[in-house]
Structure 1
Amino acid sequence: MSPVVIMGVAGCGKSSFAAALSQALGWQLIEGDEFHPPENVNKMRAGVPLTDDDRAGWLDVLANELVQRGPHAVLTCSALKKAYRDSLRQSVPALRFVHLDLTREQSIARVTQRPGHYFQPALVDSQFAALEKPVDEAGVFTADATQSIETIQVQVCAWLQSKECV
């Protein structure tokens, strides 16, 4: 077994799904947003997209959290670029990813419905501009984020139990 990263653009349901999955599996939940430094949060609150440099330190912290928590952890992290995913894989080589996929329009609609969250709807386009979908990457399962959490959970649990991803 190895930990799982729930990834995707803003509004795809990372936090909600990761909470449900970690509870179902009895694994530790690591909410990636809680580890953003104040500078990153302030930028996002102001509607300024994060750069690769902004994310580098954050990804290092998340990788360390994964190592410390061991194989039974579920992490939420946008992991938009392959380089970001590879950065996490350097610390946990067998790391698996669940990509919650949705359209730009669906993302904007969901982000707009999150009052009080620091991530501004104006940032959605920057997420899609940065997104490198994990097509043909080993250890990745892609789910339609518009499905119910229960439906995605059944799919992901079956995938996690399959021989190709254990």
Structure 2
Amino acid sequence: MGVSGCGKSHVGQQLAACLGAQFIDGDDYHGEANVAKMARGIPLDDDDRHGWLARLAELIEAARRDGRSLVLACSSLKRRYRDQLRGGDPALGFVFLEGTRELLLERLEARTDHFFKGADMLDNQLATLEVPGDDEGRIHTLDISATPQALVESVCQQIVDAPER
């Protein structure tokens, strides 16, 4: 989880490979209206995100029910969004990829093939972000200034070592 440009998809794919889990990119489940809105530089609101998060929670629930391990890349900016996702699996853990605005903007500006771009959109996400609290269960916070490989190794080891994987 984290704002756009933090590396959710890249790190998530590598983490899924490390854990032998299925990877799902939440961006692939945005409806056409959401993608078009973001491509025009208009931030999504809670109403835009509700159906999208409900679909992702269904995917999480299906994986839990089927006994499949799953890594999902999803912004999960607000606690209530994370709570909605936990509706699919109450034991759901989160990896929070945290970075400076400058590094995030640099990454966004380097993108050539993604619908989410621009300082205004990033600033909106940073303003919307509710940093996960200690009372939210399993949260692994990582600084994105480290290499993706180092991030994956760190969180993979934490997850493997956790008693309630």
TM-score, structure 2 as length reference: 0.93
> How far apart, in 1, do the equivalents of 2:83 and 2:61 lie?
15
Return the match for 2:106 from 80, 105, 109: 109
- Identify the residue that residue 119 of structure 1 maps to in structure 2: 116
Residues 97 and 140, structure 1, Cα contact 8 Å, conserved in 2: yes
57, 66, 75: which one pairs with 2:51?
Answer: 57
Taking the aligned partners of 1:40 and 1:101, their CA distance within structure 2 comes to 24
Task: Measure, in 2, the Cα distance between the counterparts of 1:116 and 1:156.
Answer: 28
**Contact 1:139 1:165 survives alignment (8 Å):** no
The offset of 1:14, in angstroms, is 0.4
Change (3 A) 1:26 1:164: closer
Deviation at 1:112, TM superposition (A): 0.5
Superposition CA RMSD, Å: 1.2
- Counterpart of 1:37 in structure 2 is 31
CA contact (8 A) 1:96 1:165 kept: no
The alignment partner of 2:87 has SS state of: helix
Distance 1:13 1:157 in 2: 16
Give the distance between the partners of 2:154 and 2:31, measured in 1 at CA. Answer: 33
The percentage of aligned residue pairs carrying the same residue is 43
Structure 2: which 5+ runs fail to align?
none
TM-score normalised according to structure 1 size: 0.92
Amino acid at match of 1:19: Q
Structure 1 residue ranges without an equivalent (≥5): 1-6
Question: Which residue number in structure 2 is paired with residue 87 of structure 1?
Answer: 84
The answer to whether the 8 Å contact 1:21/1:153 transfers is yes
In 2, Cα distance between equivalents of 1:105 and 1:127: 14
Aligned residues: 160
